[in-house]
């Protein structure tokens, strides 16, 4: 199956800092989503971004499908940004809805 | 509001006592699936359904059952829960086909003692 690799695995920041999270995938995709898992375990849908760039407040994401990677940018980090960030993809070869998840980036933001 | 609703959010049960986790979506999605999340193992698919009365196994189906009698509902059934089924469970739904966004429920944290 398709491989999804996220880096870095862990990231520790002070409040106000910026960060970039990366997601590499091993095959063509027709869906890529970024999620934030909060301390209560909920998966919050951040972006649906199979290609291009999107922005939502302090967060933005870019997917370069032809080079098989996506980046999530977090600017002016806040303590509430802490949690695990997951990238998930759906292979272009599949019409099913199944997503393949990376192992996540654990982000800790200190005040 | 478009959403996937799971219940219960938290559940502690004893080994062998049958339980059902419900999942309902209001977006008329054909595709629904269940995942479990475990430390160090990430999210793994348990079962999925492509439409009413069409279900199939995912990566880790042992010990679980599902049914899809209505398009909006996709319950997960544990006939005889065991401690190794202690996990965080997610239900998800989407349209079939390419370029379709998946929506996830709030999660169900299950503990089997």
Cβ neighbours of B94 in A, within 8 Å: 97
Q: What are phi and psi of A81, to 5 degrees?
A: -80, -10
Class of residue A2 by CB neighbours under 10 A (exposed 0-12, middle 13-18, buried 19+): middle
A14 contacts B78 by C-beta, under 8 angstroms: no
A30 contact residues in B (CB cutoff 8 A): 98-99
Maximum distance among all Cα pairs of chain B, rounded to whole angstroms: 41
List pLDDT tens digits, range B24-44.
999 999 999 999 999 888 899
Question: CA of B14, closest CA in chain A: separation in Å?
Answer: 22
Tell me the pLDDT band of A96, cut-offs 50, 70 and 90. confident
pLDDT tens digits for range A8-65: 999 999 999 999 999 999 999 989 999 999 988 999 999 999 999 999 999 999 999 9
Task: Give the tens place of pLDDT for each residue, B46-73.
Answer: 999 999 999 999 999 999 999 999 999 9
Q: B66: helix, coil or strand? A: strand
């Amino acid at each position: 199956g398709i491989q999804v690799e996220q880096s870095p695995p862990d990231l520790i920041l002070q409040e106000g800092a910026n960060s970039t999270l990366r997601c590499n995938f091993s095959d063509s995709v027709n869906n890529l989503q970024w999620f934030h898992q909060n301390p209560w375990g909920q998966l919050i849908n951040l972006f649906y971004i199979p290609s291009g760039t999107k922005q939502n407040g302090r967060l933005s994401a870019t997917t370069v499908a032809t080079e098989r990677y996506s980046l999530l940018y977090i600017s002016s980090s806040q303590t509430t940004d802490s949690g695990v960030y997951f990238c998930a993809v759906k292979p272009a070869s599949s019409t099913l809805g199944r997503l393949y998840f990376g192992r996540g980036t654990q982000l800790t933001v200190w005040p | 509001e478009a959403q996937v609703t799971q219940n219960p959010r938290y559940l502690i049960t004893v080994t062998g006592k049958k339980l059902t986790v419900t999942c309902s979506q209001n977006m008329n999605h054909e595709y629904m699936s269940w995942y479990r999340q475990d430390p160090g193992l990430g999210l793994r698919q348990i079962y999925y359904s492509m439409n009413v009365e069409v279900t199939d196994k995912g990566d880790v189906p042992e010990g679980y059952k599902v049914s899809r009698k209505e398009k909006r509902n996709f319950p997960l059934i544990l006939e005889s829960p065991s401690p190794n089924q202690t996990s965080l469970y997610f239900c998800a739904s989407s349209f079939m086909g390419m370029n379709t966004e998946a929506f996830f429920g709030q999660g169900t944290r299950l503990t089997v003692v």
